[in-house]
């Protein structure tokens, strides 16, 4: 049987793993996990903020997506992206949907550049 500290660590590990699965830039997992544990982050709030960023044009290019530890250490989930893609519930967008959105945006940009519209 786990004691309370072990149960809490297990829950934090599961919460972090969900964050990591959905975060689009897979760099510095150990640093991000240490940030998660050090700050004792509120899982639901972080994930809600992450989904807002996943739904934004700010993150359409991976070079503009901060490393996960930077996102966590600077509490970026509390900030609002400047350019949302659409007005749906941000919690509904997965990393896969975000990647699809980026693909569609790139396709539209190619068509625009080719003078198709």
The predicted pLDDT at position 89 comes to 57
Environment class of 24 (CB within 10 Å of its CB; exposed 0-12, middle 13-18, buried 19+): middle
Calculate mean pLDDT across residues 27-32.
Answer: 96
Calculate mean pLDDT across residues 36-44.
Answer: 85
| Domain range list for the chain | 4-113
Q: How many CB atoms lie within 10 A of CB 62?
A: 10
**Each residue of 64-109: pLDDT tens digit?**
899 999 999 999 999 988 876 655 555 566 677 777 778 888 888 8
Instruction: From 55, 46, 52, select the one nearest 75 (Cα to Cα).
Output: 46
Enter the pTM of the model: 0.64
């Amino acid at each position: 049987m786990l004691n309370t500290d072990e149960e809490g660590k297990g829950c934090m590990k599961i919460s972090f793993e969900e964050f990591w699965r959905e975060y689009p830039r897979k760099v510095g997992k150990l640093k991000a996990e240490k940030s998660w544990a050090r700050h004792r982050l509120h899982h639901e709030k972080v994930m809600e903020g992450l989904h807002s960023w996943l739904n934004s044009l700010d993150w359409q290019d991976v070079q503009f997506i901060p490393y996960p530890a930077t996102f966590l250490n600077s509490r970026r989930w509390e900030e609002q992206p400047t350019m949302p893609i659409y007005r749906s519930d941000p919690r509904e967008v997965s990393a896969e949907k975000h990647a699809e959105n980026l693909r569609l945006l790139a396709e539209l940009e190619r068509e625009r550049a080719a003078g198709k519209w």
